[in-house]
Amino acid sequence: MELNVDILTLFPEMFDIFNYSIIGRAIENKIIDINTHNIRDYSVNKHKKTDDYPYGGGQGMVMTVQPLVDAIEGVKKNNEGKVIFLGPRGKKFDQEMAKDLSKEKNLIFVCGHYEGIDERVYNYIDLEISLGDFVLTGGEMACIPIVDSIARLIPGVLKVAESYEDESFYNGVLEYPQYTRPECFRDDVVPEILLSGHHENIRKWRRKKSLILTKTRRPDMFKKISLSKEDKKLLMENK
- pLDDT tens by residue, 178-203: 999 999 999 999 999 999 999 999 99
What per-residue confidence (pLDDT) applies to 161? Answer: 47
* Residue 156 forms part of a structural domain: no
Instruction: Please tell me the distance from the alpha carbon of residue 10 to that of residue 130, in angstroms, as a whole number.
Output: 19
Domain stops at, among 125, 151, 177: 151
pTM for this model (two decimals)? 0.86
What residues form the annotated binding site for S-adenosyl-L-methionine? 112, 131-136
What residues form the annotated binding site? 112, 131-136
Torsion of CA 157, 158, 163, 168, to 10 degrees: -70
Lowest mean pLDDT among 57-61, 68-72, 224-228: 57-61
Domain stops at, among 151, 177, 210: 151
Domain stops at, among 151, 181, 198: 151
Instruction: Please tell me the distance from the alpha carbon of residue 145 to that of residue 154, in angstroms, as a whole number.
Output: 15
What per-residue confidence (pLDDT) applies to 164? Answer: 58
| Domain assignment of residue 101, given as a range | 3-151
Q: Are residues 72 and 134 in the same domain?
A: yes
Q: How confident is the model at residue 165 (pLDDT cuts 50, 70, 90)?
A: low
Neighbours of 14 (CB within 10 A): 17
* Residue 160 forms part of a structural domain: no
